[in-house]
């Protein structure tokens, strides 16, 4: 086994030990296929008020502009599928936000993996990314053979569906590179047909400015009235396109205690959410990604759902 293959195998073994679902590696280079897609998406204003999506266009497409001298992108998946779900009579929260904010959980694991690489291999320089910099996570994961990008624009795998986070280490070390897998969506249009706000405007194209996740998390102003009655009780994020995807029949519960939800999150009814105070919000969502929308944002979302 040559050095590149040996290093790659060691990194994947350690990633598994740290609890990652899978690990794939690709060459750090310009994402040629993504460039026109991203440009068209931005030109059509599908990012809504997410102005930051327009920034660092070159860096989004070229990791060597993000990390000097980078040679490899190590992509990792971490499962977040819960073993228990919310009470049936409840406003809904996207499953990824049930437990501790994933940014913290994954960042720690990535730091451990980078440390392992430096101890085992030598003076390797690199940076960890979890949704926090201009990196096209899904494109890199697909390039690294971890799955294909489905018609709902999420990464999909035949083995476990799509309920997982994607993260990267971009390093200045040459490794053995994986190859992409084929698309297995076939003629299925379940996600397109089920989207409550018709945000999947064409196969593989999501208009972010129509997505329930955008309205309930990213949008800072009032939610447009024309979307009233279309939110299907989602108060933070939305999982509809994942819930209807046939590949998610294979989802298995995660084994990360930090992703376990606060008990009240599972038991609360709509009435409990209607009456939530800022004190309770801080207690239930102390370390949760839901804090992004703030108490005022969650109240706005609940108020919008009450009109239905």
Q: Give yes or no for a contact between 297 and 219, defined as CB atoms under 8 angstroms apart.
A: no
**Residue 68: other Cβ atoms inside 10 A:** 9
Alpha-carbon gap, residue 75 to 138, rounded angstroms:
9
5 with 173: CB under 8 angstroms? no
Are the beta carbons of 78 and 165 closer than 8 angstroms? yes
Answer positive or negative: Cα dihedral of 159, 162, 163, 165: positive
Alpha helices in the chain, H assignment, sequence order? 3-17, 34-43, 57-61, 102-121, 137-143, 190-194, 212-213, 240-243, 263-267, 270-274, 278-284, 294-306
DSSP character at residue 139: H
Query: Annotated catalytic, 131?
Result: yes
Taking the CA of residue 276 as centre, how many other CA atoms within 13 Å lie in the half-sphere pointing to its CB? 28
Q: Which of 62, 131, 137, 272 is catalytic?
A: 131
Separation CA 141–CA 148 (nearest Å) = 8
Q: Are strands 200-202 and 72-79 parallel, antiparallel or unpaired?
A: unpaired
Contact residues for 259 (Cβ-Cβ < 8 A; gap 6+): 80, 82, 98, 99, 100, 102, 105
Residue 13 to residue 219: CA distance in whole angstroms: 40
- Token pair of 272, please? 């409990």
Catalytic annotation, residues: 131
């Amino acid at each position: 086994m040559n050095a590149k293959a040996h290093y790659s195998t060691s990194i994947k073994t350690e990633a598994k030990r740290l609890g990652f679902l899978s690990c794939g590696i690709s060459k750090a280079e310009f994402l040629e296929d993504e460039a026109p897609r991203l440009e068209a998406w931005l030109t059509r204003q599908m990012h809504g008020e997410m102005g930051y999506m327009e920034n660092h266009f070159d860096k989004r497409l070229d990791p060597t502009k993000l990390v000097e001298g980078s040679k490899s992108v190590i992509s990792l998946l971490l499962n977040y599928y819960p073993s228990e779900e919310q009470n049936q009579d409840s406003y809904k929260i996207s499953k990824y936000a049930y437990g501790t904010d994933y940014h913290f959980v994954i960042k720690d694991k990535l730091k451990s993996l980078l440390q392992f690489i430096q101890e085992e291999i030598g003076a390797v320089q690199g940076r960890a990314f979890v949704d926090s910099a201009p990196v096209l996570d899904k494109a890199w994961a697909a390039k690294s053979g971890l799955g294909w990008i489905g018609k709902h624009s999420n990464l999909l795998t035949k083995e476990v569906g799509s309920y997982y986070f994607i993260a990267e280490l971009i390093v200045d070390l040459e490794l053995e590179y994986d190859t992409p897998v084929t698309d297995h969506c076939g003629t299925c249009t379940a996600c397109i047909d089920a989207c409550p706000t018709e945000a999947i405007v064409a196969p593989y194209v999501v208009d972010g400015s129509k997505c329930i996740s955008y309205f309930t998390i990213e949008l800072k102003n009032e939610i447009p009235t024309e979307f009233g009655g279309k939110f299907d009780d989602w108060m933070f994020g939305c999982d509809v396109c994942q819930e209807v995807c046939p590949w998610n029949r294979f989802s298995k519960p995660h084994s990360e205690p930090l992703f376990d939800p606060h008990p009240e999150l599972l038991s609360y009814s709509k009435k409990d959410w209607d009456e939530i105070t800022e004190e309770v919000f801080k207690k239930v969502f102390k370390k949760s990604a839901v804090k992004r929308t703030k108490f005022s944002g969650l109240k706005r979302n609940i108020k919008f759902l009450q009109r239905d």
